[in-house]
């Protein structure tokens, strides 16, 4: 079910003529965790990530278990607070997209990567969990949108969080369509 859901979400993302504008330099990954997931291996993602070809979002491989580490860890941390929110997608950060999310009434929260404790920076994979915790604590609930504005050598990212990959992909396409209409893209 999870693999099929991610595949259906990919079809939605790849059919959008504007989605490529929101794919970050590190590329995107759409993930979904199984119920009661405990590890990265319990999360379906896209091996090789979602890239851009000829101005369109494109995935070249089928979804598989354990194919994402960053987005898998993000969704695993979210599930500790809301087990129904099992899917996520990362997008290119820009202030226009954040403004659109807020105008749509989405719950938005962020964290500052520069505030991460030094001892956590040394442990691979801890930044994502720490950041999600910061964003949830700041808002007092699980946000629909979690973002950070980067750090030295780290690209700023927006993460959409939802119940399933189709919901997340449809929201991403909506954001991409609205973003494409803005003349003042920052």
Which domains does the chain carry?
A: 2-181 (3.40.225.10)
Nearest alpha carbon to residue 91 among 181, 168, 32: 168
Mean pLDDT, range 12-39, rounded to an integer: 97
Mean pLDDT, range 143-157, rounded to an integer: 87
Is pLDDT above 80 for 186? no
Strand pairing report for 157-162 and 87-92: antiparallel
CA 13 to each of CA 10, 40, 53: distance values in angstroms, whole numbers, following the listed order:
5, 23, 13
The three-state secondary structure class of 98 is helix
The reported pLDDT for the residue numbered 181 is 92
Is pLDDT above 90 for 80? yes
Q: Are 64 and 44 in contact (CB under 8 A)?
A: yes
Q: What are the tokens at 149? A: 């504005």
Please give the Cα distance from 181 to 116 (Å, whole number): 35
Is pLDDT above 80 for 122? no
Q: Is the pTM here over 0.75, yes or no? A: yes
Mean pLDDT, range 71-82, rounded to an integer: 97
Please give the Cα distance from 73 to 178 (Å, whole number): 29
Strand partners, 43: 33
Strand partners, 161: 88
Is pLDDT above 80 for 88? yes
Q: Are 33 and 2 in contact (CB under 8 A)?
A: yes
- Averaged pLDDT of the chain: 92
pLDDT tens-digit series, residues 93-108: 999 999 999 999 999 9
Q: Are 25 and 90 in contact (CB under 8 A)?
A: no
The reported pLDDT for the residue numbered 116 is 64
């Amino acid at each position: 079910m999870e693999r099929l859901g991610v595949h259906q979400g990919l079809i939605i993302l790849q059919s959008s003529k504007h989605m490529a504008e929101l794919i970050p330099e590190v590329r995107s990954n759409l993930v979904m965790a199984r119920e009661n997931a405990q590890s990265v291996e319990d999360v379906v993602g896209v091996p090789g990530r979602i890239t851009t070809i000829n101005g369109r979002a494109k995935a070249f491989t089928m979804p598989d278990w354990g194919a994402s580490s960053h987005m898998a860890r993000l969704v695993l941390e979210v599930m500790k607070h809301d087990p129904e929110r099992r899917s996520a997608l990362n997008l290119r950060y820009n202030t226009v997209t954040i403004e659109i999310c807020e105008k749509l009434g989405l719950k938005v929260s962020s964290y500052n990567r520069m505030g991460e404790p030094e001892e956590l920076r040394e442990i691979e994979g801890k930044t994502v969990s720490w950041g999600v915790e910061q964003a949830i604590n700041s808002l007092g609930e699980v946000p629909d949108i979690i973002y950070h504005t980067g750090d030295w050598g780290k690209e700023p990212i927006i993460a959409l969080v939802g119940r399933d990959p189709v919901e997340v992909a449809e929201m991403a396409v909506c954001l991409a369509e609205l973003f494409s209409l803005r003349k003042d893209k920052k």
